[in-house]
Amino acid sequence: MKFMIIFWAVYILFFCIPFPIFIYMMTSETTTEPRNSLAVSYGYLGFSLAIWLYVVMFFINNLFIKTFKEKNTTQNILQNGIPRDAKIIGYKLLKYIEESNINIIQIVLSFHNLRNALIEHEMMFHDTKPQEKRFEMGNTVKVLLNPQIAQSPYFILKGQQTKFNSTGMILRIVFITLLIAYVIGLYYYFYTTESLDFGWRFLTFMHPIIFSGVMIIIFVLVYQLIFKKIINKKNEEDILFSGRNADAKIISVSETGVTVNDQPQIMFQVSFSDFRGNKHISVYKMMVSLLSLSTISQKGNIEIMYDENNPGKIMIPKLYKK
C-alpha cells in the first residue's frame, strides 16, 4: 500500500512539475519579441495566480485545516459524547508491530445509534495494549457517539487519546513549503530569463507557469471525482449512525447495467412505513461482487435504515442472506 502511494505520488509530481517544463524547453522558440499584447499577458498572469492560489489553498485545507477540525471534533466528543456499550462481534489481527508491541486490528462493533437503533460497524485501529485483551470476541467496550448528526467522526472509543503524528505533520509542512518555494521559483526564474523588459508578455497557455498549475488542477479534479464515492459512502454512514430502522418489503431487485471493475450495480426497490406511520417506496443502489450475487436477498422482507427527516434516503446494512 505504501509503495503504491509513493509510486502514484512520484508519477503525479513528474507530470505536474518537470514534464511541463521539459515540453516547454523542447518546443519553445527563442524570441526577442513579446508573444502577447499587454492585456492578454495580464489575463494569463491573473489566470496563473488564481490557479496557484487554488492549488496551495487546496493542499493547506486538506493537510492542515481538516486535520485540526477533526481533532477539535474528537475533543468535543470526549467531553459531550453520548455513551453507549458496544459488543465486539468480530475480530481480526491484521499486523503485529513487535518493536512497539502494537496490534493493528479490525473489529466489528454492535451498539445503538443516536436513534437507539441497533447497528453494526467495522473499524480498524492500533491496539497499544494488546496484553490486556480488551478487544477479544464477546467483550464489551465503551464508545462515545458524536451528538452532532452527520459529522465525522461519528463515534470514538471512550478514553481515546488524540494527538498529532509529529513525523506526518513535519512532512506536511515540508511539502507545503516546497510547493510554495516551487511556485515562487517558477515565476522568478522565467521572469528573469524571458521578460526581456517586456514584463509578462512572454506568457502563453502552454507556459510552465500556467500549464504546470493546470496539470495539478486536473489531478485535483480527478481526486475530487474519486472522493465523490467516499462522499456517497459518508451519506450512508450518516444514516447508519443517526437514522431509524424499519422492516421493509422488497418490491424488486434488478441490475442497473452499470459495472465498475466487473462488479454490477444492483438496485433495490422497497416499501416501508416510517416511525410516524407514513408509507414510502424508496430505491437503493450499490455495487456488488459477482461472487456475492447469489447471496443477495431477492424477496420477502429486509431491514433498512432511513433518514427520519428525508425517508426517501435509505441504506440496507445487511444486504446478504444469513
Domain identity same for 229 and 254? no
Report yes or no on 158 lying in a domain: no
Could you tell me the pTM of the whole model? 0.78
**pLDDT interval class at 15 (50, 70, 90):** confident
- The pLDDT, as a whole number, for residue 60 is 95
C-alpha closest to that of 18 among 246, 211, 148: 211
Q: Would you tell me the crossing angle of helices 208-242 and 2-16 to the nearest 10 degrees?
A: 140
* Domain interval for residue 43: 2-28+35-70+166-233
Q: 159: alpha, beta or left, given left = phi > 0 and alpha = psi -120 to 50?
A: left
- The pLDDT, as a whole number, for residue 249 is 96
d(CA 86, CA 89): 9
Mind listing the pLDDT tens digit for each residue in 122-136?
999 888 889 999 999
Domain identity same for 291 and 181? no
- The pLDDT, as a whole number, for residue 32 is 64
By 3-state DSSP, what share of the chain in percent is helix, strand and coil, each rounded to 5? 45, 30, 25
Mind listing the pLDDT tens digit for each residue in 255-291?
998 887 788 889 999 999 999 999 999 999 988 888 8
Give the cell for residue 152.
465525522
The amino acid sitting at 262 is D
| Complete edge-to-edge strand list for the sheet that includes strand 102-112 | 118-127, 102-112, 82-97, 140-145, 155-157
Most confident of 28-42, 48-62, 207-221: 48-62
CA 129 to chain centroid: 29
**pLDDT interval class at 5 (50, 70, 90):** low
- The pLDDT, as a whole number, for residue 21 is 85
Report yes or no on 105 lying in a domain: yes
**pLDDT interval class at 149 (50, 70, 90):** confident
Domain identity same for 257 and 285? yes
The residue from 145, 176, 193 where one domain ends is 145
d(CA 225, CA 246): 32
Angle, vertex CA 93, rays to CA 88 and CA 98, nearest 5: 130
Domain identity same for 306 and 184? no
Q: Is the pLDDT of residue 1 over 60?
A: no
- The pLDDT, as a whole number, for residue 214 is 92
Per the prediction, the chain carries an average pLDDT of 88
**pLDDT interval class at 30 (50, 70, 90):** low
- The pLDDT, as a whole number, for residue 259 is 85
Pure H helices in the chain:
2-16, 18-27, 38-60, 66-80, 166-194, 208-242
User: Pairing relation of β-strands 263-273 and 310-315?
Assistant: unpaired
Report yes or no on 221 lying in a domain: yes
* Number of domains the chain contains: 3
Mind listing the pLDDT tens digit for each residue in 187-238?
999 999 888 888 898 888 889 999 999 999 988 888 777 665 555 567 889 9
Q: Is the pLDDT of residue 321 over 70?
A: no
Report yes or no on 156 lying in a domain: no
- The pLDDT, as a whole number, for residue 320 is 60
